[in-house]
Structure 1
Amino acid sequence: MRIAVIDGQGGGIGKAIVSKFRHSFEEQIEIIALGTNSLATSVMLKAGANEGATGENAIAYTAPKVNIILGPIGIICAHSFLGELTPTMASAIAESPAKKILIPLNRCNITVTGIEVKPLPHYIDDAIELVKTLRGDQSV
């Protein structure tokens, strides 16, 4: 299973996602770090991603070639991450046939109703359980 983790700015959210997913799945999944900038990509690679790429073309090219896309909800919003996420990136992510698992962080004026407000690590744990369900893991 190929999973793309997309993040920008300092890459802290992507780092947390990659680290927890690597710990939970070890080498059973391939994690591709896609950063809107080189710092975000580098941080995710250091956290345990198998490979990484940076920028608009890398995201547009890779988004349709993975099984799951993970990241904050802003990755489907043009001009999020203080403008780092371009309309082309947002469109490629939203239109990808990959299953999207989005962390509902309220950082780009998007509030999702019905979502329990909790710390980032708990949202990542929820994402891990979703991926286990999608994989058909017996441990769920």
Structure 2
Amino acid sequence: MRIAVIDGQGGGIGKAIVEKVRQCFGGEIEIIALGTNSLATSLMLKAGANEGATGENAIVYNASKVDMILGSIGIICANSLLGELTPLMARAVAESPAKKVLIPLNRCNIMIAGVENKPLPHYIDDVIEILKSQRGE
């Protein structure tokens, strides 16, 4: 399985996702770190991503070349992450045939009805459970 983790700004969410995926699956899953900026990409690489790329073209190009995309809900919203996520990036992620596992953080001014408000580490645990179910575990 090949997954992309997309993050921007400080890269903390992407870093946390990559670390947990590596901890739970070791080298069984190939992780591509896609950052909206070089700091985010660098942190995800240090956390254990196999490869990394930065910027609009990297995200647009790779969004359709992975099995699954992980990140916050903002990665499908134009101009989110304080404007770092461009409309072209959001469109590429939203239209990608890859399955998307999105963490519902309310930082993007998006509220999702019926979703429990809980700390980021608990959402990342949910991401891991979804990955396990997709792999048939």
Query: How high is the TM-score relative to the length of structure 1?
Result: 0.97
Count of residues in correspondence between the two structures:
137
- The equivalent residue for 1:92 is 92
Q: Residues 77-116 of structure 1 correspond to what in structure 2 (within 5 A)?
A: 77-116=77-116
Whole-angstrom CA distance in 2 between matches of 1:121 and 1:26: 19
Once the two structures are superposed, the pairs formed by residues 36-115 of structure 1 within 5 Å of their partners are 36-115=36-115
Gaps of 5+ in 2: none
Residue of structure 2 in register with 1:34 after alignment: 34
* Partner Cα separation in structure 1 for residue 51 and residue 12 of structure 2: 17
The 2-side partners of 1:113 and 1:82 are apart by 23
The CA distance in 1 between the partners of 2:132 and 2:106, in whole Å, is 26
Residue segments in structure 1 that go unaligned for 5+ positions in a row: none
Show the counterpart of 1:4. Answer: 4
- Percent of pairs with identical residues: 77
Indicate yes or no: 2:134 matched with 1:134: yes
Q: CA RMSD in A?
A: 0.4
In the alignment, residue 70 of structure 2 is paired with which amino acid?
L
Q: Is 1:24 matched up with 2:24?
A: yes
Query: TM-score when scaled to structure 2?
Result: 0.99
4+ runs deviating over 4 angstroms: none
**Aligned partners of 2:129 and 2:12: how far apart in 1?**
21
Structure with the higher fraction of residues in helix conformation = 2
Shift of 1:53: 0.2
Cα distance in 1 for partners of 2:108, 2:51 equals: 28
The one-letter code sitting in structure 1 at the alignment partner of 2:87 is: P
